[in-house]
Structure 1
Amino acid sequence: MSTETPTHAIRIVDFPETKVAVLQHHGDPKRIGDSIQTFVAWRKQQHLHPSEHATFNIFYNDPYRVASNDFRIDLCVAVDRDMRDDSLGIATRTLPANRCAVLRHVGTDNGLWQSVAYLYSEWLPQSGERAGDFPLFAQRVRFPPDVPEQEAVVDIFLPLK
């Protein structure tokens, strides 16, 4: 029995320009946990707690449709100043202001790509909208260890033209 909570209510929002500190993960999706641990440790050192600094991921490709070595995701935290850590490759970037379709995913990351697939393959063709030029990204609203994995909340943002 699935513990995922599918929700297909799509809302259109104007996402504001947001400055973020970014750690890029390139390579095998099975190694993302290592990058997450590094990023979490760095955030703690910088006093960037998730309750005060939003957590984002930028998805450049689908881990199920790309060769492991080509997988790429950015781990991001909203910041109010430029931040850099050359030893870890952390740099400041900007999530651009965009009009976006937003789908809320509740549950584990195991079902996240099903929600993404719904957004692209069902909602987008029926909506009359067109995907924009910036990659799909997500905001981690609630996540472990603050909540159990099955209660995690992720807002998936699809930039539109």
Structure 2
Amino acid sequence: MLVEIVQFPLTKVAAIEHFGSSETECESVAKLIHWRKENGYLNQQKYQCYGIHYTNPKSIAPELHHVDFCISMDDPVLTNNYGVMAKTIPALRCAKARDIGSRSNNKAIIYLLETWLPNSNEEMGVFAPIFHYVNVGSTLCESEMITDVYLPLK
């Protein structure tokens, strides 16, 4: 798997926080999608989709799992009924790897953490891994899903 060291740019986002089982993440994502549609943030090139994965749902109790689902944007996020709020992903030096396939079985994060990092002479930074969902949509086949994973480094 190809790994690049890149500079992730400071990115303002509209985010919805998900706490709880990974099996209910789709409910949080649905809220963000409804908010996105209501506010006209549909252009995937301009308003990119991210997940900030604070925990690994496979290695933590479901009630402790936490991920923020985000859309990049510069507009202010107004108070809303969905729980969408303004946040910022800081500028970070990262290892980047691309995964193609199901988002429920991301091979890039596993490779970065279990193979690349221990052999890289690098150390993981303090910010959570960032998943850039390059393409999204309800008609997208799992085999076509592209996710760039950014592992923050010190």
Unpaired segments ≥5 residues, structure 2: none
Q: Which residue of 1 aligns with 2:23?
A: 30
Amino acid across the alignment from 1:143:
V
In the comparison of the two structures, how many residue pairs are matched?
153
1-structure distance, mates of 2:78, 2:3: 35
| Deviation per residue, 1:2-24 (Å, 9 max, x gap) | xxxxxx10011111100001100
CA shift for structure 1 position 140: 0.5
Counterpart mapping for 1:61-100 below 5 A: 61-100=55-94
Q: Which runs of 4+ in 1 moved over 3 A?
A: none
Q: What TM-score do the two structures reach when normalised by structure 2?
A: 0.94
The 10-residue stretch of structure 1 (66-75 or 77-86) with the greater mean CA deviation from structure 2:
77-86
Which of 126, 129, 134 in structure 2 is aligned with 1:141? 134
CA shift for structure 1 position 146: 5.3
Q: Percent identity?
A: 31
1-structure distance, mates of 2:21, 2:141: 25
2-structure distance, mates of 1:95, 1:25: 16
Unpaired segments ≥5 residues, structure 1: 1-7
Q: Which residue of 2 aligns with 1:44?
A: 37
CA shift for structure 1 position 86: 4.3
Amino acid across the alignment from 1:101:
A
CA shift for structure 1 position 145: 2.8
CA RMSD between the two structures: 1.3
Determine if the alignment matches structure 1 residue 60 to structure 2 residue 60.
no
Amino acid across the alignment from 1:65:
S
